[in-house]
């Protein structure tokens, strides 16, 4: 899980650009990036825009790095890459700090410790850290200064994480006393202690990022540099499910943050959840909600957001498993047309050089199969030209689920026997609609003060069974939204043990038994209303006296919930018909994205007709019809939507195109990609080529593995071995 980070740096793409063959300009671009702890080598030269060099001392999950940080940086710069820097803020290759080499004092006692006294480790002599002021001083002086001195102006501090099960170390107890001004309390003894413990963990990593980023910007400024600071972080949904506490949405208030990386990939999205009484992996659906959570959390800030996918993952699986789930997460990210910056992969050394099982039932381990590496490279090269789009994913819009950072506070330990299995109080609101083809959105409690945050929401689904409002102000915005015509569906029994923690709703002048009663009072509704429909101004509150988990923990448990929300959407909100279906579809420039759901309203496949290149097929076939079955996805290039069809151009390729030259009757270009991989390239031409020449960087002529012409699409398909030094292709027609 912790081997990853995500990054994507942005340049503007013109929506009409749908081809991969646009020549790379001289100015730097930071649209596609990747992270690596290794120096450049030909097997991992994946041709993203920027290489994020990981760790001054490397990645603690890998073998000891033999190359100096500066040498690793220069190796990528020498190959034309922009270079950035990433390291963990909660863990990293910091043995010199922990063993006393840095300041003469050992600091292993600053690791995160659980109830039994064991330190939570990320690797040998690498604990998850309680970020003390001394530790932050070490990060600034031993790492940040050195990175900026090396000329790097983009810094990523990834995964600001405290484990929910931690909170028992002497270092944490010291921070508790400084923050609360009373003695530490064991979190296992009461819900209130757990709540206090997690609020402190939340604060500590907010402080850590703010201090280090502020230093980075000030130090960079002293050297005439504009240092940009990014936070690669898992989604609130995943951190809550994995029982981790992190600042998440509060980072929006941090002025020294320039952007984020949505760390969503197979490893997070394959975490099982409940639906219709069954717990299992639902990778596409979970990824869709995770990416959506990250987008909605950060969109109001106007800062950059990069979406990550990983063709492999941290846990050892087989290559077929990786491929299937990569397609699912890749499609999910592209269904958000307001994001167009991507980390195309973490750890290319693991992807291209790692050994994994050949198949599910095989013990033989092999490197990435040629067909999969070709497909993957076609996909990541498509991202170089993925446009923003004003189109929306298909489906009835306007249903949102309310989230709050406190979702992370109630996950561990279990108190008074109250459980929320696999985060079912969240998934119980989202999956009943997502599985019926509704593109459910999420809204973050911390952003409710922003006037436009609920403008596209018709029905807001919420509960306080799994989270609590950290301040009363947001209830003012919610009640005003209802007064002006909004609809809230509140599902909760309001009997979980965290309802009674000492917080703003039951202290001072407030005497509410549950935080929801404060919200209800704002709408002139009596405390603890019974189940049913209530009206306030032009809007509606509907109360279900069920915890949302009950909708998914049992078979058909969501029937009444879905039926009532449908009625409120159509009749009260007058938002049109809430249409249930089993698929999602989106056009982005020349690209078509399709996902067909299983466990949905039907088992019908999705059929689309036209003239397409299938980008999930490493042979790049031209299709006139694509049939997508339930539980699978499709990624297509629409030839009919090409604007300049008489102009020769590369439509799809498993390499990056450079040095395009177009002249009368001739088209040439250079393609680069890692060694030991196979390129396939589909080229649009005005006429069938009369002569094709393929040469390596030394001018030696190569014979293509395949070469054929498709008359209906007027495209030529070539296949030949890749080279990071460049393969020159020339076509006369």
Above 70 in pLDDT, residue 199? Answer: yes
Structure tokens at 389: 């789009």
* CA pair distance 218, 542, nearest whole angstrom: 51
Could you read off the pLDDT of 25-66 as tens digits, one per residue? Answer: 333 689 999 999 999 999 999 999 999 999 999 988 877 667
Q: In the predicted model, is pLDDT for residue 185 greater than 70?
A: yes
Query: Which pLDDT band, with edges at 50, 70 and 90, does 249 fall under?
Result: confident
Q: What is the C-alpha separation between 35 and 85, in angstroms, rounded?
A: 8
DSSP 8-state class, residue 699: S
The answer, yes or no, to whether residue 461 has pLDDT greater than 50, is yes
- What tokens appear for 34 in the block? 């990747």
Give the CA-trace dihedral at 110, 115, 118, 119, to 10 degrees.
-30
Q: What is the rounded CA–CA span in Å between residue 548 and residue 565?
A: 13
- Alpha-carbon distances of 109 from 99, 166, 537, 632, rounded to whole Å: 10, 13, 57, 48
DSSP state of 438: -
Higher pLDDT, 226 or 19: 226
Long-range contacts: 645-648, Cβ < 8 Å, 24+?
645/684, 645/714, 646/686, 647/684, 647/686, 648/683, 648/684, 648/685, 648/686, 648/731, 648/733
Contact criterion met (CB below 8 Å) for 259 and 233: no
The pLDDT, as a whole number, for residue 64 is: 62
Class of domain 32-383: alpha beta
- Tens of pLDDT, residues 255-311: 999 999 999 999 999 999 999 999 999 999 999 999 999 999 988 889 999 999 999
pLDDT at residue number 29: 85
Instruction: Tell me what the pLDDT averaged over the chain comes to.
Output: 94
Share of the chain above pLDDT 70, in %: 96
Rounded CA-CA distance 252/271 in Å is: 27
Q: With bands split at pLDDT 50, 70 and 90, how would you rate the model's confidence at 86? A: very high
| DSSP symbols for 171-188 | HHHHHHHHHHSS----GG
Query: Residue 494 — very low, low, confident or very high, per pLDDT cuts 50/70/90?
Result: very high
What is the mean predicted confidence (pLDDT) over 583-588?
98
Question: Domain 399-572 falls in which CATH fold?
Answer: Rossmann fold (3.40.50)
* pLDDT, tens digit, 9 for 90 and up, residues 105-148: 999 999 999 999 999 999 888 999 999 999 999 999 999 999 99
Does position 538 have pLDDT exceeding 70, yes or no? Answer: yes
Q: Residue 599 has what DSSP assignment?
A: S
User: Using only C-alpha atoms, what is the Rg of the chain?
Assistant: 26
Look at residue 253 in the predicted model and tell me its pLDDT: 83
Quick count: other Cβ atoms within 10 Å of Cβ 354?
15
Give ranges for CATH 2.60.40.1180 in the chain: 649-732
pLDDT attached to residue 504: 97
* Architecture of the CATH domain 649-732: Sandwich (2.60)
Query: Does pLDDT of 11 surpass 80?
Result: no
Return the residue matching tokens 């929801």.
516
Its pTM stands at 0.95
In DSSP terms, which residues pair with 282 in a beta bridge? Answer: none
User: What is the share, in percent, of the chain residues with pLDDT greater than 90?
Assistant: 92
Cα separation, 127 vs 94, in Å, equals: 9
Q: Give the sign of the dihedral formed by CA 279, CA 285, CA 286, CA 292.
A: negative
Q: Which helix (H) or strand (E) holds 539?
A: strand 539-544
Taking the CA atoms of residue 152, residue 64, residue 59 and residue 347 in that order, the dihedral angle to the nearest 10 degrees is 90
Residue 4 has pLDDT above 70, yes or no: no
Domain with CATH 3.40.50 in the chain: 399-572
DSSP lists the bridge partners of residue 114 as 166
For helices 170-180 and 191-222, the axis angle rounded to 10 degrees is: 90
């Amino acid at each position: 899980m912790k081997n990853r980070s995500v990054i994507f740096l942005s340049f503007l793409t013109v929506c009409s650009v749908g081809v991969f063959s646009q020549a790379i300009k001289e100015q730097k671009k930071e649209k596609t990036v990747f992270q690596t702890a290794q120096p450049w080598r030909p097997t991992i030269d994946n041709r993203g825009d920027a290489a994020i060099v990981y760790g001054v001392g490397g990645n603690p999950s890998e073998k000891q790095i033999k190359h100096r940080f500066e040498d690793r940086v220069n190796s990528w710069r020498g190959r034309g890459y922009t270079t950035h820097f990433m390291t963990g803020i909660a863990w990293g290759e910091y043995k010199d700090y922990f063993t006393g080499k840095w300041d003469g004092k050992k600091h292993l006692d600053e690791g995160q410790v659980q109830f039994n006294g064991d330190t939570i480790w990320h690797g040998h002599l690498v604990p998850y850290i309680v970020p003390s002021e001394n530790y932050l001083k070490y990060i600034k002086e031993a790492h940040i200064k050195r990175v900026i001195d090396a000329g790097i102006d983009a810094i990523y501090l990834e995964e600001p994480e405290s484990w929910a099960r931690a909170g028992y170390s002497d270092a944490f107890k010291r921070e508790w006393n400084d923050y609360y001004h009373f003695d530490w309390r064991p979190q296992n003894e009461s819900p209130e202690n757990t709540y206090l413990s997690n609020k402190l963990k939340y604060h500590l990593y907010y402080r850590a990022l703010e201090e280090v980023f502020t230093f980075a910007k000030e130090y960079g400024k002293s050297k005439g540099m504009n240092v940009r600071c990014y936070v690669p972080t898992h989604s609130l949904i995943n951190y809550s499910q994995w029982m981790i506490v992190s600042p998440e949405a509060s980072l929006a208030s941090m002025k020294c943050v320039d952007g984020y990386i949505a760390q969503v990939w197979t490893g997070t999205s394959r975490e099982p959840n409940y639906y219709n009484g069954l717990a299992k992996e639902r990778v596409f659906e979970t990824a869709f909600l995770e990416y959506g959570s990250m987008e909605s959390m950060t969109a109001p800030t106007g800062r950059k957001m990069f979406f990550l996918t990983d063709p492999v993952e941290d846990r050892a699986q087989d290559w077929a498993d990786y491929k299937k789930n990569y397609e699912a997460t890749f499609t999910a990210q592209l269904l958000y047309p307001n994001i167009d910056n991507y980390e195309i992969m973490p750890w290319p050394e693991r992807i291209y050089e790692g050994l994994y099982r050949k198949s599910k039932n095989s013990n033989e381990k092999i490197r990435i199969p040629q067909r999969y590496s070709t497909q993957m490279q076609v996909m990541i090269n498509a991202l170089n030209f993925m446009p923003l789009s004003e189109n929306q994913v298909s489906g009835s819009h306007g249903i949102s689920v309310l989230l709050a950072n406190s979702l992370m506070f109630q996950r561990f330990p279990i108190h008074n026997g109250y459980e929320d299995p696999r985060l079912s109080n969240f998934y119980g609101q989202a999956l009943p609609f997502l599985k019926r083809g509704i593109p459910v959105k999420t809204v973050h409690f911390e952003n409710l003060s922003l006037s436009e945050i609920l403008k596209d929401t018709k029905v807001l689904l919420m509960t306080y069974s799994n989270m609590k409002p950290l301040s009363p102000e947001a209830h003012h915005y919610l009640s005003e939204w209802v007064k002006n015509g909004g609809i809230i569906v509140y599902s909760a029994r309001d009997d979980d043990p965290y309802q009674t923690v000492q917080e703003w709703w039951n202290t001072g002048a407030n005497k509410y038994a549950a935080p929801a009663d404060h919200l209800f009072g704002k709408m002139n509704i009596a405390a603890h209303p019974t189940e049913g429909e209530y009206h306030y101004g032009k809007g509606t509150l509907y109360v279900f006296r069920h915890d949302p988990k009950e909708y998914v923990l049992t078979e058909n448990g969501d029937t009444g919930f879905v039926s009532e929300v449908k009625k409120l959407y159509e009749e009260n909100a007058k938002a049109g018909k809430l249409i249930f279906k089993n698929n999602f579809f989106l056009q982005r420039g020349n690209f078509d994205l399709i996902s067909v759901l299983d466990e949905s309203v039907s088992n019908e496949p999705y059929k689309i007709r036209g003239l397409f290149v299938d980008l999930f097929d490493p042979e790049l076939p031209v299709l006139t019809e694509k049939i997508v079955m339930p539980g699978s996805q499709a990624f297509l290039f629409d030839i009919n939507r090409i604007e300049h069809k008489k102009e020769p151009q590369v439509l799809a390729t498993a390499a990056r195109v450079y040095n395009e030259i177009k002249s009368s009757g001739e088209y040439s270009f250079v393609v680069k990609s890692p060694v030991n991989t196979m390129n396939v390239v589909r080229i649009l031409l005005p006429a069938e080529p009369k002569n094709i020449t393929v040469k390596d960087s030394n001018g030696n002529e190569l014979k293509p593995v395949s070469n054929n012409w498709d008359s209906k699409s007027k495209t030529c398909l070539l296949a030949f071995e890749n080279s990071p030094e460049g393969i020159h292709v020339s076509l006369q027609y």
